[in-house]
A and B are shown apart, each in its own frame.
Chain A
C-alpha cells in the first residue's frame, strides 16, 4: 500500500484490530504518521492507545489489519522494526537494582551498539547524570526515571520513538524539559508518536489523533480539529459557578460543562437548543457570558460525552 500523496510515512497502518477475551481493545484503527513529525495520541483510559503502540512495535500480534512501520511490515517484520524504534513503556521498565550506568550499558548491549562506553558517557553527560551514574535507578525520582528511560531508548539512534504516556506523574518543569527534548529529536528527523492525557502536551504536537473505544475518531492539527468541530462554546465568568454548573448539566443542548478555574465552558453542537437553555441564566447580572472558540479539551470532552465509561486498559 503506497500512499498516493508525496509525503513519507513512518507509520502507515490500517484496519489494525486486537481483542482480549472477546473484547475489542482496538477496532480497525487507521493511522498515518509522517516522517519527522510529533504525533500526539489522545484518548481516555482504555481507549486502546497502549494496545495500538504495542502492535506497532510487535509486542502484540494484531488480529487483523495491515501496514508498515518504517517501511517494514508490522505483522511479519517486527524483528526489523524492533531494531530501529525506541519504545518507552508507560511503567518504568529499567532495572531498579542496576545503577544508571549499568542500565544504559545493558540496553546498549541489547542493540549491539558500537563504542558503547563513549556513547553511555555522552548520554550520562547529556542527562547531567555523570556524577550520579553509580546511583541505583530505583532510587531516582519520577522525573529523573523518565529522563533516564527516554535516554535509554534514544541511545541507539532509532528512527521512530513510541512514547506511551511518558510524562504521567511528572512535575510541570520536568515535563517542559522533556518536551523540549522531544522537539529537539524531531528537529533531527526522528518521528515521535506520543500518547498523553495532557492538553498542553497535545498542543505541542504537530498533529493529533483522537482515539476512543479502539477507533480513531479524529485526526489532524489541533487547529484543524477545532475548526472542523461543530461544537459551540460559551465561556461563563462570575460568581456562583459551581451552583450554575449543577443547574446547567443535563439541560437540552448542553453537552458538556467544564470548569477551568474561575471560568466555565458550556458547550453543545446544537446551538439553538444551547442558547435556549442558557437564556434564563444570561439574565443574571452576576454572570458574564461570552462565545469563544472551543479549546481542544472541550472537543475531547465532547468526543467522550455520551460514551459509556471506558473499561480499564489491559496491561498483561
Chain B
C-alpha cells in the first residue's frame, strides 16, 4: 500500500481557511491585485529609458533663417522641448542647476556670419549628465541634426560650403558628470531610497504595534496630547536616520568618489527635512493601519512609486504627464533634485528652494492627516 504523505481533507481545510482569511483581509487582497496593476502601469507606460520632450533652454545670441531651421530640426527629433528662450547664459545655467531644464543650446552671436562664410560656427549643447541615461539618445540625435539640418537652406553657391564637412560644429558638454558615470546618479539617490524604505516602514509600524500588543489602550487612557505622541514616535528615528546618512555619505565619498560641490550644511539641513517628512508619512500610515501587516503593506505601496516615479531609476521629465503628477506628490522626487543639485551641481539655497517648499507642503499635509486621524479614542 502506498502511504499518502498527507490527507486530502486536512489539505482542503487548510486551503479553505486560507481563502476565507484572504477574503476578509482586504489589504492583502488589494495588494495581490494592486501591485501587479501598479507595476504594469509603471513599467508599461510611465517609465521610459529613452525620454523625449525634455525641457531645453535656448540661449539665442543670433537669429536668422539658418538658426530657425537648425532649432526646428533639433525640436523635430522629439528629444528637445524648448521651454525657455533667453539671451542671458547665466539665467539658463541657473535653471539647469535647479533641475528645471535638461539641456542648454547656445547659438553664438556670430553664428550666421560664420556660417555664410563657411567657417563652421560652433553650437554648444550642454547636457545635465547627473542622470547619464536621460540624455544619451538626445545627444546622438543632435549629432544627426548637425549633419543634415542645413542641407536644404544651404543651396546654390553656399551648398559647396556644406558638401565637405558639416557646416556647423556641435560642441557637447556633459555638465556635472563629464565622465558619464552612472554611480554619480545612483549613489546620492540611494540615500533617498534607503531613508524612504527604512523610515516609512519603521514609523508606520509604531502605533500599529502598540495596537496589536494592547499597549495602545493604556497609552490612550493616559493624559497625552496627539502632538506629544507623534513627536515621541518620530524624534528617536531622526537620530537613527542620521547614522544611516553618515554611513552612506562616507561611502559615497570614500568608495565611490562622488564629488561634493555644494554646502555640507545645506545638505544636512535638507536631509533632516527629508527624514522628518518620511517619518511623518510613516506615522500617518500608522494612524490608519490597524495591524502591523497593514502598515507594512501601506509602506510597500508608497515605496514602489517612490523608486520608479521619482526619477531615481528613470528620468522624471521623460515620464508622461500623469506619471509626473503622481511623482510630484512623492518626497523622494524633490529629494533627488536637492541632493543631486547640492552634491553634483553645487547648488545653493535659492536654486534648491523650488524643491524644498514642496517637502514642507507634504510634511504639513501628512501632519494634518495624522492629527485628524489620531483621536486618542478606540472608536
Q: With A91-B214, A96-B213, A316-B378 in contact, do A59 and B220 touch (Cβ < 8 Å)?
A: yes
A86 to chain B, nearest CB (A): 9
- Kindly supply a per-residue 1/0 record for chain B positions 349-379, scoring 1 wherever the CB is within 8 Å of any chain A CB and 0 otherwise: 0000000000000000000000000001111
Residue B7 lies at the interface, judged by CB distance under 8 Å to chain A:
no
> In the complex the two chains form, what is the Cα distance from A61 to B379 in whole Å?
7
Q: How far is the CB of B221 from chain A (nearest CB, A)?
A: 4
Task: Give the Cβ gap from B218 to chain A, nearest Cβ, in Å.
Answer: 4
Q: Is A5 an interface residue (CB 8 A)?
A: no
CA distance A95 to B216 in the complex (A): 10
Question: Is A82 an interface position by the 8 A CB rule?
Answer: yes
Given contact pairs A59-B378, A60-B379, A110 touches B217 in the complex (Cβ within 8 A): no
Look across to chain B and name the residue whose beta carbon is closest to the beta carbon of A57.
B221
What CA separation (Å) do A89 and B220 show in the bound complex?
11
Contact B215 A95 (CB under 8 A): yes
Are A79 and B218 also in contact (CB < 8 A) when A54-B378, A316-B378 are?
no
Contact between chains at B214 and A93 (CB < 8 Å) = yes
Nearest Cβ on chain B to A184's Cβ, whole angstroms = 23
What 1/0 flags go to B207-243 for Cβ under 8 Å of A?
A: 0000001111111111110000000000000000000
A93-B215 contact, Cβ under 8 Å, with A107-B222, A111-B223: yes
Q: Known interface pairs A59-B378, A60-B379. Does A79 touch B223 (Cβ–Cβ under 8 Å)?
A: yes
Q: Which A-chain residue is minimally distant from B378 (CB atoms)?
A: A316
A230 to nearest B CB, angstroms?
39
Q: Kindly state the separation between the CA atoms of A131 and B94 in the bound complex, as whole angstroms.
A: 67
A59 CB contact (under 8 Å) in B213, B214, B221: B221
B195 CB, min distance to chain A CBs, angstroms: 25
Interface size in chain A (residues, C-beta < 8 A): 22
Chain A nearest CB from B291 CB (Å) reads 12
Known: A58-B377, A60-B379. A94 touches B218 (CB 8 A): yes
Residue among B213, B215, B221, B376 with most chain A CB within 10 A: B221
Taking a contact as CB atoms under 8 Å apart, the answer to whether A92 and B214 are in contact is yes
Residues in B with CB closer than 8 Å to A82 are 221-223
Q: Closest residue to B224 on the A side, CB-wise?
A: A110
Number of interface residues of B (CB under 8 A): 16
Q: How many angstroms between the C-alpha atoms of A60 and B378 in the bound complex? A: 6
In the bound complex, CA of A111 to CA of B218 (Å): 12
Interface string of A180-200 (1 = CB under 8 A from B): 000000000000000000000
Residues of B within 8 A of A89 (CB): 214, 217-218, 221
Q: Which of A66-82 contact B (CB under 8 A)?
A: 79, 82
Chain A positions within 8 Å of B223 at CB level: 79, 82-83, 110-111
Is A41 engaged at the interface, CB distance under 8 Å to the other chain?
no
For window 27-72 of chain A, which residues contact chain B by CB distance below 8 Å?
Answer: 54, 57-61
Residues of A within 8 A of B376 (CB): 58
A103 to B208, CA, bound (A): 20
Contacts of B378 in A (CB 8 A): 54, 59-60, 316
Chain B nearest CB from A224 CB (Å) reads: 32
CA distance A172 to B219 in the complex (A): 29
What residues on A are CB-neighbors of B215 within 8 Å?
93-95
| Chain B CB within 8 A of A210 CB | no
A58 contacts which chain B residues (CB < 8 A)?
221, 376-377
Question: Is A234 in contact with chain B by the CB < 8 A criterion?
Answer: no
How close is A104's CB to chain B, nearest CB, in angstroms?
A: 13
A9 within 8 A of B: no
Using CB atoms, name the residue of chain B closest to A98: B215
Proximity string of chain A (99-115) to chain B, C-beta cutoff 8 Å, 1 when within and 0 when not: 00000000100110000
Interface residues of A in 267-299 (CB under 8 A from B): none
A residues apposed to B, CB below 8 Å? 54, 57-61, 79, 82-83, 85, 87, 89, 91-96, 107, 110-111, 316
A-B contact pairs, 8 of them (CB 8 A): A59-B217, A60-B377, A89-B214, A91-B214, A93-B215, A95-B215, A110-B224, A316-B379
Beyond A91-B214, A110-B222: 20 further Cβ-contacts under 8 Å?
A: A57-B221, A58-B377, A59-B217, A59-B220, A59-B377, A60-B378, A61-B377, A61-B379, A79-B223, A82-B222, A82-B223, A85-B221, A87-B218, A89-B218, A92-B214, A93-B215, A93-B216, A94-B215, A110-B224, A316-B378
- 8 closest A-B pairs by beta carbon, nearest first, are A93-B218, A91-B214, A87-B221, A110-B222, A82-B223, A316-B378, A83-B223, A93-B215
